Amino acid sequence: METLISWLIAAFVVGIFVLQYYVGHRRKLARAKAAAARGPLSSDGPRAQHPQIHAESCIGCGACVKACPEGDVLALIDGKPRIVNGHKCIGHGLCAEECPVGAITMVMAKASAMADFPCLSPELETSLPNLFIAGELGGLALIKNAVNQGRDVVDTIFARTRQSVSHPIPDGTFDLIIIGAGPAGISASLRAAQHGLRALTLEREQVGGTVTKYPRQKLVLTSPVEFPLHGRFRKTQLSKEELLEFWQSVMDRADLNIHTGEGVEAVTRQSDGLFHIRTGLATYHTRAVVLALGRSGNPRKLGVPGEHLPHVLYRLIEAEHYHDQKLLVIGGGDSAVEAAMGLARQHGNRVTLSYRRDSFIRLKDRNQKRIAEHIQNGKIEVVFNSQPREFQPGSTILETPDGIRNLETDSVWIFAGGSSPNEFLKSIGIQFGMQDISASV
């Protein structure tokens, strides 16, 4: 009898754990199926690089789901991983790296989603021979991808340069000119120096590109990356300041030819195959060009009365400069949410976030959790389904579901994206449409 009781107690204890696992598994499965159902309603799916899962090879271990830094992009449904929130995928590629059986490959989005991106070859060459694109301008997000692409395109240019040594070029002509000194441009510049190429890098602002405009302490790197002339940089989490400091230390050690404060006005391919690059200061000649520009361009305006007022801003660099103020942030993307949370951390600020939709649909997983905490703690007031009607000195008129609201505001930030440099690319003669990319991740 004692043995039977012991077995019954053991079975009861085991049953509790089994029941908890079963209930938890069913809840997780229900959430995954709900996310899969909402996915097509939130967006048309991935906009660029994303995982393609080969079901016949997949063993359903879930390693890919756990590896994704963006949260619920993937989920296990009926024992197989599926993309449930494709719009959140920004091409980390960690899911493919973690798959133990190689059942995931990284592919680009469907042609309709890529219509707004330049047409590129597998070598990242545009429709103009020897004119390459590296970084987010070609459709891939992430600093890691930009660094890899900057390195790879220069390798291609170097190989072609060696093949054409019997064809002399005029004195003063560069082997390549790199336009942009962000992650892709820095990587390309370092690789060019490593190969001994005659290279020039042109940057209209300062080294670092878009990263320099991020808020302080913004997390900008989430996976290891390898820089030419330096080696593998193994930190998996890096802030804006740490990355800029690292870049500066690398550049101090390398013989690079970088002109800052010199923006490119025109790129023209001549009949002899050389490119003429015109800036506001000079005209340069080169065999090859690497466009390492970002996609944000100039901040997009809303066209709202009063938008020209000095307290209406489009970038937040130093949240610490604002305290004891009434502040309004307009937008619902990661940049807007991160700015609002940065301002809310400063002493005495009262922060309101206005978003035109009824919920956040494109946030990174970590931002989704953090903004929920800020809302629950009363640090940020979020007004969904709202939009500004007029900006006035000291106040903003918001149109909300409950009617017109006059909100006191000392400063306002608008995060509505930016105008892409597509018109500039089209003026060069670059074709747009479906891309054929084999990106290194």
Please give the domain boundaries of the chain with CATH numbers for all domains.
42-113 (3.30.70.20), 115-294 (3.50.50.60), 301-416 (3.50.50.60)
Report the alpha-carbon distance of residue 189 to residue 209 in Å, rounded. Answer: 14
Helices 183-195, 240-253: inter-axial angle, 10-degree rounding: 20
pTM above 0.85, yes or no: no
pLDDT in tens, the chain (441 residues): 667 777 777 777 777 777 776 666 566 666 656 655 555 545 556 666 778 888 888 888 888 888 887 767 888 887 788 888 777 777 777 888 888 888 888 776 655 555 678 888 889 999 999 999 998 888 776 788 888 999 999 999 999 988 776 566 778 899 999 999 888 999 999 999 999 999 999 998 878 766 766 666 666 665 667 778 777 766 666 677 777 787 777 777 667 888 988 989 999 999 888 999 999 999 999 999 999 987 766 788 899 999 999 999 988 877 888 999 999 999 999 989 999 999 999 999 999 999 999 999 878 878 899 999 999 999 999 999 999 999 999 999 999 999 999 999 999 999 988 777 888 898 899 988 754 444 433
